[in-house]
Chain A
Amino acid sequence: MRAGIEEAIGFYITRRHPYNTAWLPVRAHSMTDHPSNPVQAQDRTASINSASSAGDGRGGPGDETLLERVKANDQTAMTDLFDRYAGLVYSVALRVLHDTGQAEDMMQDVFFQLWKNPGSYVHGRGSLGAWLAVVARNRAVDVLRRRKPSHPVEDVVLAANTNLASDVERNRMMEKVREVLKGLPSEQQKSLELAFFEGLTHAEIAAKTGDPLGTVKTRIRTALISLRKAVQA
């Protein structure tokens, strides 16, 4: 895997209310190893390469450059960012919501918020594309939960990384992730699917699948670790 492209870049924490559209990213603390973490943070950071100055692989400006221009009210730069990541954001929102109208509304809103408040994303410390993908997923899940209220999670900590500025690398990363997920046991795939894209809690998943809660937790965790290992391989 080529350094600086497909690896995790940095970590951000976005603290937000589930129904609050405001983004309040805060720089996360430096990575340390969790006692039970099967992947060593040192290994991750060793391959981390900043995407702040990386371009789109075609000689175009990097995310950081475009964001700086957006802060200076450059509509063209904002349009460039839209062209770069709108497809990803829209597809994630559509995958969760299954409604093209709602997905576009969300996509439009996500980018318009970035236009209104480009400082909400702290550039230079991570991947804008990954951050947008997670923001889109979480906001889509918020919409789902609002439509069928269950147990909204408040004050959630999120993180996003991975440089996705390059179309080629983004497509390659997508292909790899899908390949990894396809290779997972079907129970893990289903549990991750229900939690991540359907927005179900682990208790709801257990009730739906008939599996014990602990089993559901382990399957989700294992699936995520598999993804992490695959991109670090």
Chain B
Amino acid sequence: MNERDHISPEDLSLYAMQALSESEAAVVRAHVETCSVCRDEVAQAAGDLALAALSAEQHPLPESARQRFVERVAADAKTAGRASDAPGVPPVQAKPIRRIYASVQWSLVGAMAVLAFAMLLKIGDLNREMKKLKADEAQQTAHAARAQQVLDVLTAATAQHVLLTAANAHPVPGGRAVYLASTGGLIFQANNLAAIPADKTYELWVIPADGKAPIPAGLFRPDAAGDASVVLPPLPSGVPAKAFGVTMEKATGSPTPTAPILLAGAAPSAGE
């Protein structure tokens, strides 16, 4: 390597002193790693730094600094299991005993560390399992409580039973007839009936099971809510009914039903 290949001594001194910029230091570092000549020069320059360090004015140590260091070392020796020498004991004689003792200590420390680590792992597993069980238990408890709530609502005597329908749906007219043929007793209740003109009326009909002509069973008009009822109209007794029907007739009624039949319902057999 000729001279041109080397870093200048000035830069090597600055490099040893960390007084180059990062980029400059990177160039020097790359060169020094492969150039023993410059590496040695850096070593010399660094040796010069030790001399420069001696120019620093000497100051006494802060109070108790020595004591703090001694205590720190003693604490470390105690923590790490390092044994201190007894005063007056020749180091050469003390070494084998201390080394054996230290070896045993370190072995014990190592074994305890392994055991502690294994126990930590086991504890971790148990903790995870316990957490899972607790989570399952909480989930089951929540499910049971919800089921009980459902049951309580359904069976409560004070519960309100409400049928909800579409808010803007047109109500469907309907009627329920309870008829006792043996006495001719009839109770009819209708709801959701459409309003009818003033000259019209609804008329209920009993359709005899023997095929004879329908029997008028009463006139009625719905109220504002569409509800209406016919209770015990004058009917012959002993006429079994096959069906019931409702038609719209003139206000005074009609002896025969006029189409269309607005409501109709087949009567089940007696007792059904």
Give residues in A with beta carbon < 8 Å to B. 8, 11-13, 18, 28-37, 39, 41, 44, 68-69, 72-79, 82-83, 86-88, 90-92, 94-95, 100, 104, 107-108, 111-112, 115-116, 127, 130-131, 133-134, 136-138, 141, 151-162, 164, 170, 173-174, 177-178, 181, 192, 195-197, 199-203, 205, 217-218, 220-221, 224-225, 227-228, 231
Contacts and interface: CB of A to CB of B under 8 A. Distances in A.
A137 B84 CA distance: 31
B77 A134 contact: no
Contact of B44 (A201, A203, A228): A228
A76 B77 CA distance: 12
Given A41-B44, A174-B58, 14 more contacts: A12-B43, A13-B42, A28-B40, A32-B37, A32-B40, A34-B37, A35-B37, A86-B61, A141-B18, A157-B39, A173-B51, A201-B14, A217-B14, A228-B47
A174 B83 CA distance: 37
Contacts of B32: 157
A33 B60 CA distance: 40
A133 B8 contact: no
Nearest to B74: A75
Interface string B161-182: 0000000000000000000000
B43 A87 contact: no
Given A141-B18, A160-B50, A220-B13, A76 B61 contact: no
Contact of A87 (B36, B53, B55, B59): B59
A22 B98 CA distance: 27
A75 B17 contact: no
B44 A157 contact: no
B268 to A, nearest CB: 98
Interface stretch (B21-29, B118-126, B139-147, B255-263): B21-29
B91 A202 contact: no
Contacts of B82: 73, 75
A151 B21 contact: yes
Contact of A32 (B36, B47, B85): B36
B54 interface: yes
A74 B90 CA distance: 11
A113 B164 CA distance: 83
Nearest to B13: A221
B19 A201 contact: yes
Contact of B58 (A79, A91, A138, A199): A91
B73 A78 contact: yes
A202 B20 contact: yes
Nearest to B64: A104
Contact of A18 (B13, B18, B59, B98): B18
